[in-house]
Amino acid sequence: MKQLSIVFLMLFTNQSFACDDCKSYDNHDFAIEKVNVTHNASLASTIWEISVKGYAGKTTPTPAGQLNGAPVLGYVFPTSLKPTDVGFSQTEGIVALALTSHPDFDDTSLWDENSDQQYDNDGVIWHPHWVVLNEDSRVEGGLAVKQFEKGDETVVLPPTNPGMPMYMDSPGFPVITEGNTIRVIVPDYRMNNKTDFSYDGVAAYMQVNTEDAYKPMLGVYQVYSVASGDLSLPYTVQQ
């Protein structure tokens, strides 16, 4: 918890320096009111939910027209799960389930989220990613998806990963937006049958970087809301 408390201080100390693009999405659609994860034993699955003041998933990013600088909006569940629980090799960092929208690129080539028989044109549709986050002071939000050297054979990613040198997976779980709630359903076997973890909820703006070697490939530039208020992961799975 100490690591997360430090991250929380970084997040909100830096908010006054957030990018101009970030501010345009700071609305009730990203103002979290409640977060909930429930285990359904009869379905052998967990249902993850974030409820907001506005309409969950209604606001999506305005395209940048290119990959560098592409905006990514996310409803994120930081957890106490281990990287190995979701198919990564062991590494330091915070395992999170992120529900994202990004119209400039599609990183779920195995899945056709808009059911149009094309697999490379639906990045704007809300979809899930497992990621490992680490502290990164190079971006205003203080967090980034953890990277590794391309070709590093010690790194293991799930076979559904999008092929980027980051601890990221595109698992294809169903994401549903309904009124003020966005939810995702995760089968137990896809996270090592863990149902006793703790978690939190975060709404954030992220951005892709492919040109500036000083900045991360996918960093958090602004956090709009945190369910707990202090990123302490106080919530546990309801059985």
At 4 the pLDDT is 54
The model's confidence at residue 62, banded by pLDDT at 50, 70 and 90, is very high
pLDDT above 90 covers what percent of the chain? 86
Model confidence pLDDT, tens digit, residues 29-57: 999 999 999 999 999 999 999 999 999 99
Angle CA(85)–CA(73)–CA(140) in degrees, nearest 5? 90
How do residues 81-93 score in pLDDT, each as one tens digit? Answer: 999 999 999 999 9
Q: Specify the pTM.
A: 0.93
pLDDT digits (tens, 9 = 90+) for 132-190: 999 999 999 999 999 999 999 999 999 999 999 999 999 999 999 999 999 999 999 99
Residues in the chain, overall count: 239
- Say how many Å lie between the first and final Cα of the chain, rounded: 23
DSSP string computed for 190-225: GGTT----EE--EEEEEEE-SS-TTS-SEEEEEEEE
Instruction: State residue 18's pLDDT score.
Output: 47
Q: What percent of the chain has pLDDT over 70?
A: 92
- Give pLDDT, residue 22: 84
Q: Is the pLDDT of residue 15 over 90?
A: no
Work out the mean pLDDT of the chain and round it to a whole number.
92
pLDDT classification of 2: cutoffs 50, 70, 90:
very low
pLDDT in tens, 206-222: 999 999 999 999 999 99
Predicted confidence at residue 128, as pLDDT, reads 98
What are the DSSP calls for 97-128, one per residue?
A: EEEEE-TT----TT--TT-SS-SSS-TTS-EE
- For residue 125, pLDDT over 60 is answered with yes
Q: Which residues of 185-216 are buried (b: 16+ CB within 10 A; e: fewer)?
A: ebebebbeebbebbbbbbbbbbbbbeeeeebb
Please give the backbone phi and psi of residue 61, each rounded to the nearest 5 degrees, phi first.
Answer: -70, 150
pLDDT, position 12: 47
pLDDT band at 58 (very low <50, low <70, confident <90, very high): very high
